[in-house]
Structure 1
Amino acid sequence: MRRSRLFRRLMATTLPVALVLGSAGTTAVAEPLRGRSMSSYGLAGGIDAPTAEMLPEGTLGATISWSDYGRRSSMVFQVLPQVTTVLRYSRVDGVREFENEEAITDRSLDVRVQLVEEQGWRPAVAVGLQDFLGTGVYSGEYVVATKTVTPRVRVTAGLGWGVLAGKPRLIDASDEGGTPNADEWFRGSAKPFASVSWQVNDRLDVVAEYSANDHIARYNTGQVFQQGKAPDSNLNLAAFYRFGETYQAGLYTIGGNTFGAQFSIMLNPRQSPYPSGLAKAPAPVRPRPAPAADPDGWSGVWSQDPTAQPAIQTALGDAMAKEGQALESMALSPGRAEVRVNNTRYVSHAEAIGRTARLMTRALPPSVETFVITSTAQGIPTSSVTLRRSDIERLENTEAGQIAAVSALTDAPATAPGLVQTDGIYPRFRWSVRPYLSLGFFSAKDGLTYEGGGQARATYTIAPGLILTGAIRQRAFGNIERRGPAIPGQRGRNYTFDEYRDNPALETTPEGVPRVRSDTRMYSGNNKPTIPELTLAWYAKPAPAVYTRVTAGILERAYGGVSTEVLWKPANSPLALGAEVNHVRKRDFDQLFDFRDYEVTMGHVSAYYEFPQGFTAQLDVGKYLAGDKGATLSVTREFANGWRIGAFATKTDLSAEEFGEGSFDKGVTLSIPLGWATGQPTQDRVSTRLRSLSRDGGAQLNVNGRLYDNVRDSHSAKLYEGWGRFWR
């Protein structure tokens, strides 16, 4: 159907305006309309049809929904107050895919932008794209408005295209998916949808909905109903029950002839189970005595005693060790003290600096007025915070912004005059034995995969910047079995482990692409001990804002070799530039000390930029593990308490056919500090990278200890975002 000139103009202006308004989260006058229930597609509001509602900013949630029309697992993230994204994995019944299964597995991505916030008589208005990167089973677009009629009743009305209008897009059965279907957005005839939600009480919500979705999938090989039949009517009904602020369960009916159930969990980085934490309170600032009470301390004559600095350094180091910090070295004069500190406990470096400053007031003689606290990472100095002792004494009971205003952040030189290394700090040996759990999501064949066991890990710091690290892992349970990649032309069938291991010719795809990641299951499911990492790393700082790293050994479970890196990152700049070159060889599948034939030299140049509200963008351009060349764009948001949520996309010179299903690499990253959930201060994290498929194009090397992540914690953007913890 041909679009009118008015409609084309509307779409040409609506989408850019949506992006601009959605990104201006801090300029909004009204609060975005908050959703009270989750739809079967994993977004706020509705059942099968959308609303204009949002979630609290930063919310990360998951919804599992089941009915005869589909089984959907969705992960939602409220990127900004007006921008919601959803990554979804679905099994759609009624459509044969392979192995005689009457279902297809579908991965899809949605985005919803609230253009106008509810205020007074004006409803909230949103525009959304549904399944705009998948194969199109759920593909549709909408413009929707939601209005609060009474404090407990909301009404929604909107126009939908695609499946939301009962006009599903034609899907090419051979389509690999993964590319935007922009030429179909807001195309064809539109149909209305509507809903009414009633908040019965603080826990129960009831929703009635009119939807035009007839649950049909149209393939170029034929049209099929997703359940074998269409709904009896366009009316859907649901009831949702909340358990506290985190969990919600729901029952719904679609068209009166199909029933479904769902469960949702919502987490918000801003709402920790232990808002104040369970850490021991820091020692209070100790005011200096009057000059008449300690004339020698104020005059500086103490500095002439050769035993003074060793005694002070030992006392301060012992006190800092109880705070989870290592005093690596110290320079002391009558009026100035510099300490170089390795923070091993606190997610926020500002908290580590604040606790160090308090301890310095208790350990140093009264004549020392200038405190320089230099943070280190991997044995190299990253930044220095300079404070006046009188300001610390004067501002202890004020808000942290005042102490920030009188502090100075500078780049730290590699060495400084008068630094004395703390006795016994090097060499240093640390070890741990703990369980591990690996989860796999969005597998078309296996669904959720998991593997668990035990891991022993040890680190031997030989000297500042010279670190030996090793780990050994033993699997105890799991449903991840060892197998080769899919057999070309036989969808649903894979090479056996022995077939793939014994035939090196299979390690290249028929299109000539080396299998650098698509055979990752060959490294899983090993019931014997494995060595995931064994490296020697050397970190250095040849100039105040320049850092280097050289790592050699077994770098990750699939590759070993040498990785080199250089980073330029001034302490007060949001911009950083880096370069990395790696020469690696593929490991044998037993993950011990043998290697296979494939080796490659790869690397990239990188640019990093830190934006307000905790956003960091990273652009990598270079050569990847399979020898393909291209670029990766990553965007990550980090909250003050350490939560990190991001997304990435990689496009290289491989064609969609060479890359395979998915067309290009993309995924989501998530990292949650354990301290958020336990209340105990720790730098340990639970991290994962979710990607719908493991393909060879755009594959990066996984190396621990990359420079940017080590350096940025004590630099301006990250440090001052967490400055509110200085007095914690």
Structure 2
Amino acid sequence: MPRRTRLLRLFLTSALPAALLAGPAVPETLIGTGVNSYGLPGAVEMPTAEAFEDGTLSATVGISDYDRRNTIAFQIMPRVTAALRYSRVEGLDQRRGYIWDRSFDLRYQALDESGWRPAVAIGLQDFLGTGVYSGEYVVATKTLNPRLRVSAGLAWGRLAGEYRQADYTDEGGKPNVDDWFTGSAKPFASVTWQATDKLRLAAEYSNDNYGLEVTQGAEEPGSKFNLSATYRFGEYYEVGVYTIGGDSFGAQFNIALNANKPAYPSGLEPAPAPVRPRPAPSADPEGWSGAWSADPTAQPAIQKALGDALAKEGQILESMALSANRAEVRIRNGRYLQQAEALGRTARLMTRALPPSVETFVITSVETGIPVSSTVLRRSDIERLENRPVGEIAQVATVTNADPRPAGLVRTPGLFPRFQWAIRPYLTTSLFDPDDPLRYEVGGRASLRYEPLPGLVLSGSIRQRAFGSIEQDGPSGLTPDEYLALDTDIGPFGVPRVRSDGRMYSGNDSPVITDLTLAWYAHPSEAIYTRVEAGLLERAFGGASAEVLWKPADSRLALGAEISRVRKRDFEDMFGFRDYETTTGFVSAYYDFGGGYLGQIDAGKYLAGDVGATVTVSREFANGWKVGAYASKTDLSAEEFGEGSFDKGITISVPLSWATGQPTTDRIGGTIRSLSRDGGTRLRSDGRLYDNVRQSHSGKIYEGWGKFWR
């Protein structure tokens, strides 16, 4: 027996039982949650029953003698962790010599550690994929002292050394339910020691013999014992090295961000102007009497002064209605991520600009030119509660539907027409291609926005590529010239190519108009919103689209419908079109479950003519982070859809203010999908009504109400 193996076994058979004799109390732990080579809580390769902090988004990149693994994991809720993995496995494809495999994991924290009781987790590994890593486990973890933690469990499938011989050449992407918890169950165990505040060491016993890789020519692990050392630097980063069986080696890098822990928790925005208490009636009898309201010059002067003050706060005062005891202001928030912060700052400025007789404040939030909600406050409450807990002002505020056509509303002079433009760099990435899993393009983007009237928006953007590895390419291994020579947009099995030829729109050295539309947003009744849009709707399609949304300001439920007539755009001609055209439409239901959890169902006809539904579940944090997952199933068979069997993916949206501390509504993020196929795809649009409208409705406002006095 090799000396290193004997020493490791001695450690596991002596230190572990000795540690188990420690008292039942769980001391304040110094051990951070370890991340294994699969990008989930674990030791070296095997899982543990540790859990990430709620809201943690983790990314892990690792390479070993056997494979390369890239994993994104998210702690969806305190007990549920999900992961998407993209791995290069050597030797399985005769043409390339390897495959790039997509796999999904899901684990549930059944028990938390308490007293003598260990933490217990149940996991499904690669439960939605080709099955290269398919396996299941039940694991228990116990903290023995502040620096020592042990785990033990039972595993099935890959983790028990039984590769299930899934056919990696099939379409994949479907749950392999029949395989779950089948075959021989085999034990595993691990010990984690926090040697220093930065250095964590782990040893484990594993039954994964890498049989799949060994049959493809890889060397079999020398033993069933694995070791790792992980070093933490900074607050978010870890780098580690490990050995599998003592003679195969690997390294990994991990970054973990927590949506609940912004870099600047309080933000770096300047302090707002304080509330100005009203003078005593004897000190300003005319102001208290309301006689000032008869002066025709009073409102224009007040509106200009308030508008100028709001502009310094990043708000636009679009219009105002003013009487002796009531004032309504309609504002467009251009700076603050939480609408509640914009409301609080507006309310303060109103106390400074309005005569003392005005007791009722109505602050109406405006999005894309349409009023979406009105927050009603008493001035005396604002004065009384400025230095009280924020919950008290929330209790006396009322959020209602905005009146579409109130009497006495005066538009701010000179506000329309409005013209905005910007020039910024852009970065586009293409992920998960079997031949080149990461491609990119960098260039400049010019955008414009012209609003001749409230709700009427002409907008567009043009891009100029500078450099990158994304080049024009045809689908199914065809060159661009070969694909153009086919002169058809219909793919195999008669399915129109609406996304699978997306690379034909890439790699242009000349300027490209990505979108150019004229849109009309309207609010015909208190709970009804509409959008009509025409032009070059996105990079691949142009046409016309209409949408209607029912969403009362205080309702968790919203219902909508959308219909579009579109035609496929030319690959290179800015204003040219191809032959394929279609009508696509959906009915949608949205529900806010509270606590930041949102659900959405869209059912209808997709771009390729297939009919089905998309289910989306997402979680939005009070600081603006939003992470979600979706799946679309249509009447296309798995064979017609192609690899992946049905459309699915993950969406991530992170506000820049979370990282910089500076107030801004800008975000970064996008959709991560394993494949771009033609089935289950919709038009890409940033102007859909629900996400714009709900930002200023009661549920979203109250979730961010802690920012009202910020």
Structure 2 residue corresponding to 1:630, chosen from 582, 588, 612: 612
The 5 A counterparts of 1:557-596 are 557-590=539-572, 592-596=574-578
Q: Deviations over 1:329-373 (max 9, x none)?
A: 000001000000111111100000000000000000000000000
Give secondary structure in 1 for the equivalent of 2:42: coil
Q: Deviations over 1:681-703 (max 9, x none)?
A: 11111121000000000011002
Match of 1:40 in 2: 37
- C-alpha distance 707-591 of structure 1, shift in aligned 2 (>3 A): farther
Query: What stretches of structure 1 move > 6 A for 4+ residues in a row?
Result: 30-34
CA shift, 1:157, in A, is 0.2
Match of 1:25 in 2: none
> Is structure 2 residue 398 aligned with structure 1 residue 403?
no
Structure 2 residue corresponding to 1:429, chosen from 400, 419, 422: 419
Contact kept? 2:28, 2:146, Cα under 8 Å: no
Structure 2 CA distance for aligned equivalents of residues 226 and 206 of structure 1: 31
Structure 1 residue corresponding to 2:55, chosen from 31, 38, 58: 58
Q: Deviations over 1:654-674 (max 9, x none)?
A: 000000000000000011111
What letter matches 1:542 in structure 2? P
What letter matches 2:135 in structure 1? G
Structure 2 residue corresponding to 1:183, chosen from 170, 178, 196: 178
CA shift, 1:510, in A, is 2.3
Structure 1 CA distance for aligned equivalents of residues 29 and 588 of structure 2: 36
Identity level (%)? 64
Contact kept? 2:31, 2:193, Cα under 8 Å: no
> Is structure 2 residue 256 aligned with structure 1 residue 266?
yes
- C-alpha distance 152-695 of structure 1, shift in aligned 2 (>3 A): same
Give secondary structure in 2 for the equivalent of 1:443: coil
What letter matches 1:653 in structure 2? D
The 5 A counterparts of 1:469-618 are 469-486=459-476, 494-505=477-488, 507-590=489-572, 592-618=574-600
> Is structure 2 residue 299 aligned with structure 1 residue 299?
no
What letter matches 1:41 in structure 2? Y
> Is structure 2 residue 320 aligned with structure 1 residue 330?
yes
Give TM-score, length-normalised by structure 2: 0.95
> Is structure 2 residue 60 aligned with structure 1 residue 76?
no
Match of 1:692 in 2: 674
Contact kept? 1:69, 1:226, Cα under 8 Å: no
Contact kept? 1:626, 1:697, Cα under 8 Å: yes
> Is structure 2 residue 101 aligned with structure 1 residue 106?
yes
CA shift, 1:244, in A, is 2.2
CA shift, 1:32, in A, is 12
> How many correspondences in the alignment?
684
Give secondary structure in 1 for the equivalent of 2:572: coil
Match of 1:461 in 2: 451
Contact kept? 2:565, 2:582, Cα under 8 Å: yes
The 5 A counterparts of 1:699-714 are 699-714=681-696
Structure 1 CA distance for aligned equivalents of residues 371 and 418 of structure 2: 18
Deviates more, 1:118-127 or 1:169-178: 169-178
Match of 2:267 in 1: 277
> Is structure 2 residue 231 aligned with structure 1 residue 241?
yes
What letter matches 1:235 in structure 2? F
Structure 1 CA distance for aligned equivalents of residues 402 and 306 of structure 2: 21
> Is structure 2 residue 235 aligned with structure 1 residue 251?
no
Match of 1:669 in 2: 651
Contact kept? 1:32, 1:53, Cα under 8 Å: no
Match of 1:415 in 2: 405
Contact kept? 1:93, 1:226, Cα under 8 Å: yes
CA shift, 1:35, in A, is 4.9
What letter matches 2:171 in structure 1? E
Structure 2 CA distance for aligned equivalents of residues 453 and 213 of structure 1: 46
What letter matches 1:124 in structure 2? A
Match of 2:145 in 1: 150
CA shift, 1:528, in A, is 1.0
Structure 1 CA distance for aligned equivalents of residues 430 and 269 of structure 2: 33
Match of 1:85 in 2: 82
- C-alpha distance 328-615 of structure 1, shift in aligned 2 (>3 A): same
Match of 2:707 in 1: 725
CA shift, 1:93, in A, is 1.6
Contact kept? 1:586, 1:596, Cα under 8 Å: yes
Structure 1 CA distance for aligned equivalents of residues 285 and 315 of structure 2: 32
CA shift, 1:226, in A, is 5.5
What letter matches 1:293 in structure 2? A
Match of 1:119 in 2: 114
Contact kept? 1:52, 1:124, Cα under 8 Å: yes
- C-alpha distance 32-525 of structure 1, shift in aligned 2 (>3 A): farther
Q: Deviations over 1:512-539 (max 9, x none)?
A: 1000000001011111100001000001
Give secondary structure in 2 for the equivalent of 1:245: coil
Structure 1 CA distance for aligned equivalents of residues 247 and 100 of structure 2: 23
Structure 1 CA distance for aligned equivalents of residues 647 and 339 of structure 2: 34
What letter matches 2:281 in structure 1? P
Structure 2 CA distance for aligned equivalents of residues 251 and 226 of structure 1: 24
- C-alpha distance 173-62 of structure 1, shift in aligned 2 (>3 A): closer
Contact kept? 2:568, 2:577, Cα under 8 Å: yes
Give secondary structure in 2 for the equivalent of 1:502: helix
Contact kept? 2:630, 2:648, Cα under 8 Å: yes
CA shift, 1:704, in A, is 2.4
Contact kept? 2:589, 2:602, Cα under 8 Å: yes
Match of 1:49 in 2: 46
Q: Deviations over 1:245-303 (max 9, x none)?
A: 20000000000110100000111111111111111111000000111111100000111
- C-alpha distance 316-32 of structure 1, shift in aligned 2 (>3 A): farther
CA shift, 1:102, in A, is 2.2
Structure 2 CA distance for aligned equivalents of residues 76 and 245 of structure 1: 18
What letter matches 1:248 in structure 2? E
Contact kept? 1:33, 1:54, Cα under 8 Å: no
Structure 2 CA distance for aligned equivalents of residues 683 and 699 of structure 1: 28
CA shift, 1:85, in A, is 0.7
Contact kept? 1:32, 1:118, Cα under 8 Å: no
Give secondary structure in 1 for the equivalent of 2:492: coil
Give secondary structure in 2 for the equivalent of 1:170: coil
What letter matches 1:679 in structure 2? G
Give secondary structure in 2 for the equivalent of 1:525: coil
Contact kept? 1:32, 1:82, Cα under 8 Å: no
- C-alpha distance 139-226 of structure 1, shift in aligned 2 (>3 A): farther
Give secondary structure in 1 for the equivalent of 2:617: strand
CA shift, 1:94, in A, is 2.9
What letter matches 1:695 in structure 2? R
Contact kept? 2:588, 2:600, Cα under 8 Å: yes
What letter matches 1:588 in structure 2? D
- C-alpha distance 226-83 of structure 1, shift in aligned 2 (>3 A): farther
Match of 1:209 in 2: 204
Unpaired segments ≥5 residues, structure 1 = 1-29, 218-222, 487-493
Contact kept? 1:32, 1:81, Cα under 8 Å: no
Structure 1 CA distance for aligned equivalents of residues 214 and 250 of structure 2: 20
What letter matches 2:306 in structure 1? L
